[in-house]
Amino acid sequence: MFINFWYVAGLASEITDQPLKRRMLGLDFVLFRDSEGRARCLSNTCIHRGGSLAGGKVRGDCVQCPYHGWEFDGDGNCRRIPSLGPNPTIPARARVDAYPTEERYGLVFAFLGDLPAAERPPILEIPDHEYGPDGPRDGWAATIQHFEWAFDYKRSMENGIDPAHNEYVHPTHGFSGEQDDYQMPSPTLEDTDWGTGFWSERLAPPLAEKKMREASGREEDAVIRAGTGHFGPCSIWTYIHPTPDIQIHQYLFETPVDESNTRLYLVNLRNFLTDTKDDERVMGRNEVVALQDRDVLVEIQPVQTPDSNNHEFFVGADTPIARYREYLKDWEGRGWRIDSARVERDRKRVAYAIPSQARREQKGWVLDAVPLRPGAAATQAGKAARA
């Protein structure tokens, strides 16, 4: 799991003036709205003596710890320590990490890391002609679904960009190997700063759902065009064009709960059957497909992707997965990968926090920053020191 990316913390609608506890990247956070309705995200561990802030309540712009009533504002600063009496000086060290949030597509994203704004990897963007500031544009309809399942997000990401699984996992997209001339050659990858992707054409049966099939105007098997790719460690775009005019664009944001549990938020844009009364039909279809993937993913061994590809057997169609792992290595080299084994080992003795940007300017934090795997610079320095 990686710091320094944006993660979906929750649906905009579930973040209210009641504090909400959310585990992300193996650590706990509290989410709430301040008096101006802004979504706020703080490390959930009270720095006094470890209370769970999410168990308390929101008072004005602050969340109040349920244990001794200390109050923390949306920037993480302690504003009130009741036991000190009226108008005390609050020590500067009395603060928790606070994380920037951004509300888009009906979701609240939190930036979990310490990079300053100008250096942060962006959120996977839905093009403005599909989804504007006020919702889907004319001619498009959007749905949001979310799931929480027991698999490693990397396994799920690799599944999302795997061109060869459709034939077997999704009877709606392939022929379960019954086509004698089926093959899936290495796709031609197109790399961007934050991920790889590709387009491919494949033979697919007509859409299974009757009304969607009618809307697509295609009753026969046909070659369809589809593109997919990852963006950062945890987001995927998938464009499916069952006919040149009919487009389904999916944006999947995965939030690792920990190394073996993942929450998935699927924003589905479509340019047909755009009446909201068809939302359920589309969501039902997406859920069937997502469950087909889940059933395979929860059984994969080992649960987490192995450290070396030599412990799996890659063929041409697996090149997007190999490339995804190269991107992860790059981000690990930057020192962004959490040392989850150590976090787990220490769990009962140490409450860690994801370092926020404020740690770059202010010293003296009560909680230790989460341990990170050594980046490339550290590895190089270590090698040089040993030489």
Give the shortest CB-47-to-ligand FES separation in angstroms. Answer: 8
Give the shortest CB-71-to-ligand FES separation in angstroms. Answer: 9
CB 163 within 8 A of CB 317: yes
Number of other residues whose CB lies within 10 A of the CB of residue 181: 5
- Judged by CB under 6 A, the residue of 8, 39, 65, 273 near ligand FES is 65
**Cα separation values, 96 from 28, 30, 74, 198, Å:** 12, 11, 10, 42
- Judged by CB under 6 A, the residue of 23, 28, 48, 218 near ligand FES is 48
Give the shortest CB-159-to-Fe ion separation in angstroms. Answer: 6
210 binding partner (options Fe ion, ligand FES, none; Cβ < 5 to 8 Å by kind): none
Q: CA 128, 129, 135, 140 torsion: positive or negative?
A: negative
Largest CA distance in the chain: 80
- Report if residue 51 touches ligand FES, rule: CB under 6 A: yes
Give the shortest CB-59-to-ligand FES separation in angstroms. Answer: 13
Total length of the chain = 387
- Judged by CB under 6 A, the residue of 67, 147, 168, 199 near ligand FES is 67
Give the shortest CB-66-to-ligand FES separation in angstroms. Answer: 7
Using CB under 5 A, list all residues that contact Fe ion.
293
Give the shortest CB-168-to-Fe ion separation in angstroms. Answer: 10
10 binding partner (options Fe ion, ligand FES, none; Cβ < 5 to 8 Å by kind): none
Give the footprint of ligand FES on residues 126-165 (CB under 6 A).
none
Which stretch in 62-70, 153-161, 303-311, 344-352 sits in contact with ligand FES by CB under 6 A?
62-70
- Report if residue 46 touches ligand FES, rule: CB under 6 A: yes
CB 371 within 8 A of CB 341: no
CB 130 within 8 A of CB 136: yes
CB 41 within 8 A of CB 110: yes
Give the shortest CB-114-to-Fe ion separation in angstroms. Answer: 34
* Residue burial 125-161, b: 16+ Cβ < 10 Å; e: rest: ebeeebbeeeebbeebbbbbbbbebebbbbbbbbbbb
Which stretch in 45-53, 157-165, 221-229, 335-343 sits in contact with ligand FES by CB under 6 A?
45-53
- Report if residue 347 touches ligand FES, rule: CB under 6 A: no
- Report if residue 68 touches ligand FES, rule: CB under 6 A: yes
CB 137 within 8 A of CB 131: yes
CB 71 within 8 A of CB 61: no
211 binding partner (options ligand FES, Fe ion, none; Cβ < 5 to 8 Å by kind): none
- Report if residue 21 touches ligand FES, rule: CB under 6 A: no
Give the shortest CB-79-to-ligand FES separation in angstroms. Answer: 12
Q: Which residues pair with 142 in a beta bridge?
A: 269
CA dihedral 20→367→117→54, nearest 10 degrees, is 10
Give the footprint of ligand FES on residues 70-109 (CB under 6 A).
70
Work out the burial of residue 249: count CB atoms within 10 Å of its CB; fewer than 13 is exposed, 13-18 middle, 19 or more buried. buried
How many residues at the interface with ligand FES, by CB under 6 A? 10
Of the pair 57, 373, the CB lying nearest ligand FES is at: 57
65 binding partner (options Fe ion, ligand FES, none; Cβ < 5 to 8 Å by kind): ligand FES
**Cα separation values, 183 from 164, 187, 280, 322, Å:** 9, 12, 34, 19
Of the pair 48, 170, the CB lying nearest ligand FES is at: 48
- The contact set with ligand FES (CB under 6 A) reads 46, 48-51, 65, 67-70
